[in-house]
Amino acid sequence: MSVIECPGCGEDEDLSGDRRGGPGNETITVTCGACGLVWERDLTPRCPTCGSEDVRGALRSIVDKSRGTQLSIQSMQVVYLCRECDAEQLAVWNRSNTPLAPDELPFDPH
């Protein structure tokens, strides 16, 4: 997840947002509690590594232990894959069109 910070003072914690509009027309207006600056957040998906807007949405599964050591898909997460930085994962998604494997599996410290 990318860090959101105020473009005026750099604050990244004392921020509040107001979400409006439906899917496709959604906007988020952010207010900085430190300096009072108000701006509209850019919701364009970008690659967190290179900043490219040339990304494709895919689904990644989120798994948890449901019984003993058995793993079950609990939910899905939309991820944006960059054609350059995530080429291998994007190829898997394009080939299978099934949810990508999770980045991490549940950890049992016992």
Identify the domain containing residue 19 by its residue range: 1-43
Pair 53, 99 in one domain: yes
Q: Is the pLDDT of residue 67 over 90?
A: no
Q: Is the pLDDT of residue 6 over 80?
A: yes
Share of residues in the chain with pLDDT > 90 (%): 55
Q: How far is CA 3 from CA 24, 28, 69, 83, in A?
A: 22, 15, 34, 22
Pair 91, 76 in one domain: yes
Pair 37, 48 in one domain: no
Average pLDDT over residues 85-98: 92
* Domain count along the chain: 2
Pair 69, 92 in one domain: yes
Pair 21, 50 in one domain: no
CB 28 within 8 A of CB 38: no
Model confidence, pTM: 0.64
Q: Is the pLDDT of residue 14 over 50?
A: yes
Pair 32, 48 in one domain: no
Q: Report if residue 9 sits inside a domain.
A: yes
